[in-house]
Amino acid sequence: MSGTFLLLICIILVALSFSLFQSGVRRASSERVLERLAEGQPAKAPTRAAWAGLERMFQRAGLGKPTERLGLWLFGWALGALLGLLVAQWPGLLLMLVLPPLIARAYIAWRYQHRVRRMIEQLPSLLDYTVRSLKSGRTLADAVLGGIDAADEPLKQAMGRIQRNVQLGVSLPDSVHDFAEFYERDEFRLFALGLKVNHRYGGNASELLENLIKMIREKEQGARQLKAMTGETRMTAYVLAGLPVCMVGYFMFANPHYLMTMWNDETGRWMLFGALAMELTGSFVMWRMLRSI
């Protein structure tokens, strides 16, 4: 049994190390670009590196600061680890130490993606309000801030970051640029770039924003068409990933002795672990293929 759980923990750690390697490569590339853009700019105040990444994840997902309920979360995690130790001894302890952070990380990533998708869907309405305000004679800053006030959630709450920075004396283009880099989406970066170009060189801001609205809507329409065209492929991937799990569940319900015979045999146990490794590898490969579509 110890070898079984050690193998499971090794698979989880290998997957985590691969994910951390990819995020490190992407972060290094982004940092090189930001260093070139920030040449000649005043240096930012140092932040606590230990909590900066965690707070950024929670705030982007709309969950506030993690330190607000940190004690409660740590208590629940410790209680779950103690229950795992009492129920399944040290394998249960290891499982309860590793599983809750993985579930929390997956939930935060899902919530962030869902929230940003909603914000991008609401962005054309905000830009349209800004264009109408500009044509009625308001300044660009007043038009953008008025559009933020008239926006719906979650975009209004997220862009409250821009309003607070402007109230503190930061220019509107710099505030929008900070917002765009915080959420790391091209639509927000184009919005920030358009404001910065207009602020530095002038020009017709209404036409620029109208072109940005058209671009966002065309991109959204193309994404929906691509999703409809690849629906069969995605459904096939879901079926292939879920079929082995459903078959194991069926055997455990209908004839548990069949799998337990393999589990109690050393050769059968290694076959089951090999099948699990191939299932995880195949699911990961199909997930990467779906993300690239």
Percent of the chain topping pLDDT 90: 0
Q: Tell me which of 5 and 179 has the higher pLDDT.
A: 179
Q: Which two tokens stand for residue 265?
A: 């045999």
Q: Rounded to whole angstroms, how far apart are CA atoms 140 and 198?
A: 10
Please give the pLDDT value at position 45. Answer: 44
Distance between CA 198 and CA 213 in Å, rounded?
Answer: 16
For residue 82, pLDDT over 70 is answered with yes
pLDDT of residue 36: 58
Position 122 pLDDT exceeds 70:
yes
pLDDT at position 5 is 53
Chain centroid to CA 247: how far? Answer: 31
Of 13-22, 57-66, 90-99, which gets the smallest average pLDDT? Answer: 13-22
- CA dist 154 and 115 (Å) reads 7
pLDDT one-digit tens code per residue, 263-277:
788 888 888 888 888
Residue 47's pLDDT is what?
46
Please say whether the beta carbons of 143 and 130 come within 8 A: yes
Q: What is the mean pLDDT of residues 76-99?
A: 76
Mean pLDDT, to the nearest integer, of 171-184?
A: 88
pLDDT at 6: 56
**215-241 pLDDT, tens digit each:** 888 888 887 787 777 777 778 878 887
Identity at 201, one-letter amino acid code: Y
* Helices and strands (H, E) in the chain, number of each type: 12, 0
For residue 111, give both structure tokens.
Answer: 């919530």
Q: For the segment 184-220, what is each residue's pLDDT rounded down to a tens digit?
A: 888 888 888 888 888 888 777 888 888 888 888 888 8
pLDDT tens readout for residues 256-265:
787 778 778 8
pTM (two decimals): 0.63
pLDDT of residue 69: 67
Predicted pLDDT of residue 269: 80
Residue where the block lists tokens 């505030």: 175
Cα–Cα distance measured from residue 134 to residue 164, given in angstroms and rounded to the nearest whole number: 22
Higher-confidence residue of 90 and 278: namely 278
Predicted pLDDT of residue 25: 66
pLDDT in tens, 5-60: 555 566 666 666 666 666 666 666 666 655 655 554 444 444 454 566 777 787 88
Q: By the 8 A CB rule, do 163 and 150 touch?
A: no
pLDDT tens digits for 100-115?
Answer: 888 888 888 888 888 9
Quote the pLDDT of residue 14. 66
Q: How far apart are CA 202 and CA 3, in angstroms?
A: 68
pLDDT at 84 over 80: no
Question: Is the bond leading into 66 cis (omega within 30 degrees of zero)?
Answer: no
More confident residue, 12 or 172: 172
C-alpha 266/C-alpha 260 separation (Å) is 11
The three-state secondary structure class of 154 is coil
| Higher-scoring residue by pLDDT: 21, 168 | 168
Buried b / exposed e over 278-290, threshold 16 CB at 10 Å, is: ebeeebeebeeee
